Amino acid sequence: MSNSHSYNKAEEIGTVVPSKYTSVALLGNPNVGKTSLFNALTGARQYVANWPGVTIEKRVGTMFYGDRAFRIIDLPGTYTLGATSIDEKVARDYLIYESPDLVVVVTDAMNLERSLYLLLQVLELRGNVILAINSIDEAKKAGIKIDSKELSKHLGIPVVLTSAFTGEGIGNLKEAMLKISRSGIHVHYLFPERIEKLISKLSSSLKLKKELENFDTRWLSIKLLERDEEVLKLTGIDPGADYSADIANSRYEFIKELLKDSYRDSEKHYWDLNTAIDHVVTHKYLGILVFFAIMYLVFQVTYSFAEPFTTLIEMGFNALGAFVDKSVPIPWLASLLSDGVIGGVGAVITFVPSIFILFLSLGILEETGYLPRAAFVIDRVMYSMKLSGRSFMSMLLGFGCNVSSIMSTRTISEPQERIVTILVSPFISCSARLPVYIMISSVFFGKAAGLAIFSLYVFSVLFTFASALLFNKLLFKGKPSPMIMELPRYRKPTIRSLMLYTWNRGKHFLEKAGTIILAASIVIWVLSYFPTGNILTSFASILGKSLEPLFRPLGFTWQMVTALIFGGAAKEVIVSSLSTLYGASSLPGNPGLATLASQITPPVAFGFLIFVLLYFPCFATIAAIKNESGSWKYVWITVLYGLGIAYLLALITRLIGGAFL
Amino acid sequence: MKITLSQLPVGVDGTIVEINAPHELRERLYGMGFIKGQRVKTIRRAPLRDPVVYLIKGSEISLREELSSKIVIESRFFSLDLAIPGEYVVDSLVGGRRFLEKMRFIGISKGSRIRVVKSLSRGKYIRINNNDVFIPYRQAMRIVVEELPNE
């Protein structure tokens, strides 16, 4: 049914479903297929936003079932309802303070025992809980038998077996959600008597506190016994001893009893293929080889697979520009439309195929489960820079977009490692810089263009690492965050989830092309057309020319300087402004870029690319740095550091290159 | 014998006895299944030796030595460098063909009985087939032994 509805824009979801929707939170361990289940429930009626105050991705979607509308929130993956990492805190705070109508705890059929631990913690906190046991298709194949009726009887809550991959049980899950939204269920499970005694003792003293009347005192008592720091502060009570180990053991004991009658394991031959792949992928020598091969492949695919599409789009925009130029009688309007709007946006749209393919590749790496392996293989290297494989994943995301990279540092629990990762993230060559590399490289480096681009990526990685070390030394002297990371089993990603992954992120680029970049293109066109109609005597020329002496040692032309200034809006704007300033589209070999080629030497061009890589990040990234680090101080550090080094290295590139050529 | 999780050889399992990790990490370790009495097995080491993947409650978790050295486990199997004087059986040898040949020359192979006579920081004096042999620390690390109960 989900496909029959047309796609709604984010704002419409709020208006289509007025206050009568039922709010549902999806909660579960990382890698249990929670997001796939979310996709299966909501289809395309979803949007990605941020949690208020923090910038962890918040996926919200709408589902219609029966006579009701459900608003489903995909909470960050978590192992416990503690409050030690920001992910956990977001999930927990949502459950406590937003109190959704229903909670669906998503667990993994292949690993039920461990994932039920979180369910118990939710049951301690609230009612109206549904247990979804996901990946039931894989479990069946592995010969695992789960009796959901028996489980449901013992737990007292609805239990549904689902598979987001085959779609099995999704209907049952919807039915269970509908049923609970009408009736409601609250259950308790009991701890061993000695713990229950402590709980009731604490509860009775908590009940006397008026300011806590909105909280479940039983839950507060359990958290106090676990010495949960937030609850200790909230209640002002200190029970003394730490019972957390005792309580954790009791939960697992309860799970053991629960699964005795309802869960039958088999010989886990399922793991054999998994182990075989891991044997290669994390092997002493092969593992590193595979790691670099995959990274290289991603960028080759991004570059070469996209080419036919890129050429096609270029041809289309050129034809459109020429047609508009001819058919509009007013010269300035014709110029605005063909050079400003069509030329500027067209130059950026040509790179859409590359960027979608890049996100698709990253999506495949993430959804199959390779990314954590990559983090595992590379962790020791990151550790020597006081970072972890976790920050490696954030940095890897930076190849798509520095903003998402900075946002993803939320998963790093150690504040200091987070700050360092945020500070160095802008030096990771994001996909918006790729258009600039491609444009300049295709003009100056001919057949070596691919190599030039690859070397920029390698340089970006090395520079990021070196900067991380430097920042760690200068700003902090602490230890890196502990890397406790699960290596999930490999999964076949579904086409649908890959499409949603790619679309949700690629859309960002399209939106930028449609808004900021269009605006920037028009501003640039205005600056370069007025007051005289001649670009050489325009405002832009005056601006660029007045700054040009500063960049003379680097060999940059005033057009390049002007483009760099506009690059602050978004790095890919450099492409559109260069093409506007040189009066042409970005087609390789066109007369405009030939002018550029005659003005500067290849070493200067390479220096320019290094400058583009390192100088101040785009406004969106700057805003993200400010938000995430919480201070302008860090923005200044990374911006001034980047600008200084960019200038220095571009100069060195020119000098060294000049000496050899 | 009680050893730390970081000392547990690859392919061997043990039982968790104690978790000495800082409080804020313990909570997450519990959530992942690291509790007292739980069996845990070393699966493999990263290419640069750290971190290490452990199998616990059916899932594979990667821990750094920094943390795994704070988890105490009970295991009948450990590397020879940790052994106190007593009787042992060689369970496996971790190394290439040259290492295996070297060990065979001394008389050590899978299943051979050895007696640790004296334990020094730079290695172990062992008695095997009525010969006294000195095994340097670096080699001892690569010999996995099983404790034999005292008679």
Comparing alpha-carbon positions, the chain A residue that sits nearest to B53 is A487
A105 close to B (CB below 8 A): no
Tell me: do A38 and A113 sit in the same domain: yes
- Mark which of A249, A264, A279 sits at the end of a domain: A264
- A122 and A252 housed in the same domain: no
CA distance A360 to A501: 7
For residue A121, what is the enclosing H or E element? helix A112-125
pLDDT tens digits, one per residue of A526-547? 877 777 766 667 787 788 889 8
Asked if residue A253 and residue A207 are part of one domain, the reply reads yes
CATH number at residue B66: 2.30.30.90
Residue A651 lies in a domain: no
Beta-bridge mates of residue B136: B123
Please indicate, yes or no, whether residues B66 and B120 belong to a single structural domain of this protein: no
**Sign of torsion, CA A316 A322 A325 A328?**
negative
Instruction: Say yes or no: B85 and B139 in one domain.
Output: yes
CB contact under 8 A, B31 and A117: yes
Model confidence over A142-186: pLDDT tens digits? Answer: 888 999 999 999 999 999 999 988 999 999 999 999 999 888 888
* B47 and B102 belong to one structural domain: no
In a shared domain, residues A172 and A228? no
Nearest CA in chain B to A268: B58
What distance in Å separates residue B8's CA from the closest CA in chain A? 18
Q: How high is the pLDDT of residue A13?
A: 43
Chain A residue whose CA is closest to B20: A245
Q: Which helix (H) or strand (E) is A2 found in, with range?
A: none
Q: Is A28 helix (H, G, I), strand (E, B) or coil?
A: strand
pLDDT tens by residue, A194-211: 999 999 999 988 888 888
Do A93 and A206 share a domain, yes or no?
Answer: no
Q: Is the pLDDT of residue A213 over 90?
A: no
What are the start-end ranges of the E strands in A213-285? 263-264
What is the per-residue pLDDT for A590?
52
The Cα–Cα gap between A407 and A415 comes to: 13
Q: How many CB pairs under 8 A join A and B?
A: 121
Would you call A520 exposed, middle or buried from its count of C-beta atoms within 10 A (0-12, 13-18, 19+)? buried
Q: Which of A114, A118, A485 sits opposite B58 (nearest CB)?
A: A114
Asked if residue B7 and residue B70 are part of one domain, the reply reads yes
- Establish if A252 touches chain B: CB-CB under 8 angstroms: yes
Looking at the partner chain, which of B28, B48, B49 has a beta carbon nearest the beta carbon of A82?
Answer: B28
A592 or B66: which leads in pLDDT: B66
Rounded to the nearest 5 percent, the helix, strand and coil shares of chain B are: 25, 45, 35
Q: Same domain for B7 and B50?
A: yes
- Both B97 and B116 in one domain: the answer is yes
pLDDT at A453 over 80: yes
- A244-260 and B23-32 helices, crossing angle to 10°: 10
Distance CA A635, CA A422 (A): 10
Q: Are A24 and A100 in contact (CB under 8 A)?
A: yes
pLDDT in tens, A81-117: 987 777 788 899 999 988 899 999 999 998 899 999 9
Same domain, A174 and A219: no
- For residue A497, what pLDDT is reported? 83
pLDDT at B129: 86
Select from B65, B57, B23, B11 the least CA-distant residue to B38.
B57
Which helix (H) or strand (E) segment is B129 a member of?
none
Residue in A with minimal Cα distance to B61: A486
CATH number at residue A43: 3.40.50.300
Same domain, B50 and B101: no
Q: What is the pLDDT of residue A71?
A: 94
B68 and B82 fall within a common domain: no
Instruction: Write down which residue in B57, B75, B93 finishes a domain.
Output: B75
The range of the structural domain enclosing residue B143 comes to 78-147
Q: Calculate mean pLDDT across residues A62-68.
A: 90
Q: Do B30 and A288 count as a contact with CB atoms less than 8 A apart?
A: no
Q: Indicate whether B68 and B133 sit together in one domain.
A: no
Nearest to A77 by CA among A352, A511, A376, A410: A410
Closest-CA residue of B relative to A28 is: B31
Provide the pLDDT for residue A94: 92
pLDDT per position as a tens digit, B37-47 = 999 999 999 98
Query: How many domains does the structure of chain A reveal?
Result: 2
The residue among A27, A115, A291, A380 with the most chain B CBs within 10 A of its CB, best to mutate, is A380
pLDDT on residue A324:
86
The alpha carbon of residue A658 is apart from the nearest alpha carbon of chain B, in Å, by 40
Q: Evaluate whether residue A609 is within a structural domain.
A: no
* Boundary-marking domain end, from A182, A208, A231: A182
Going by pLDDT thresholds of 50, 70 and 90, the confidence category of residue A508 is low
Of B31, B46, B61, the CB nearest to A118: B31
Q: What is the 3-state secondary structure (H, E, C) of A85-98?
A: CHHHHHHHHHHHHH
Helix, strand and coil content of chain A, in percent to the nearest 5, comes to 65, 10, 25
Which pLDDT does position A14 carry in this prediction?
43
Average pLDDT (A325-347) is 79
Both A152 and A249 in a single domain?
no
Which residues share a beta bridge with B55? B41, B60
**What is the number of domains present in chain B?**
2
B67·A484 Cβ contact <8 A: yes
Please choose, from the candidates A407, A402, A463, A406, the residue with its C-alpha nearest in 3D space to the C-alpha of residue A433.
A402
- Domain co-membership, A74 together with A203: no
The CA–CA distances, whole Å, from A247 to A190, A198, A244, A254, B30 equal 11, 11, 5, 11, 10
Q: Which of A420-429, A563-572, A596-605 has the highest mean pLDDT?
A: A420-429
Nearest chain A residue (CA) to B27? A82
Distances (CA, A) of A313 to A19, A260, A345, A348: 44, 61, 11, 10
From A207, A230, A264, the end of a domain falls on A264
Q: Does residue A129 share a domain with residue A31?
A: yes
* Residue scoring higher pLDDT (A503 or A394): A503
| B58 and B105 inside one domain | no
Average pLDDT over residues A242-258: 92
Give the closest-approach CA distance of B20 to chain A in angstroms: 11
- Residue A558 in this model has a pLDDT that exceeds 60: yes
Q: What is the pLDDT of residues B10-41, one digit of tens each?
A: 989 999 999 998 887 888 899 999 999 999 99
Same domain, B51 and B89: no
Angle at A142 between CA A137 and CA A145, to 5 degrees: 75
Task: Quote the pLDDT of residue A104.
Answer: 97
Residues of B with CB under 8 A from a CB of A: 19, 23-33, 35-38, 44, 46-51, 53, 57-64, 66-67
Of the given ranges (A10-14, A319-323, A623-627, B24-28), which has the lowest mean pLDDT?
A10-14
Query: Is pLDDT of A335 > 70?
Result: yes
Min distance A456 CA to chain B CA atoms (Å):
26
| Contact call for residues A43 and A90 (beta carbons, < 8 A) | no
CATH number assigned to the domain comprising residue A242: 1.10.287.1770
Q: Above 60 in pLDDT, residue A329?
A: yes
Q: Domain range spanning residue A251? A: 193-264
Could you read off the pLDDT of B69-115 as tens digits, one per residue?
999 999 999 999 998 898 999 999 988 899 999 999 988 989 999 99
Please judge whether B47 and A287 are an interchain contact, meaning their C-beta atoms are less than 8 angstroms apart.
yes
Boundary of a domain, candidates B75, B99, B123: B75
Residues A399, A400, A404, A410: what is their CA dihedral angle, to the nearest 10 degrees? -40
Query: What is the token pair recorded at B73?
Result: 């486990």
For the cut 90, the answer to whether the pLDDT of residue A251 exceeds it is: yes
Domain identity same for B84 and B68: no
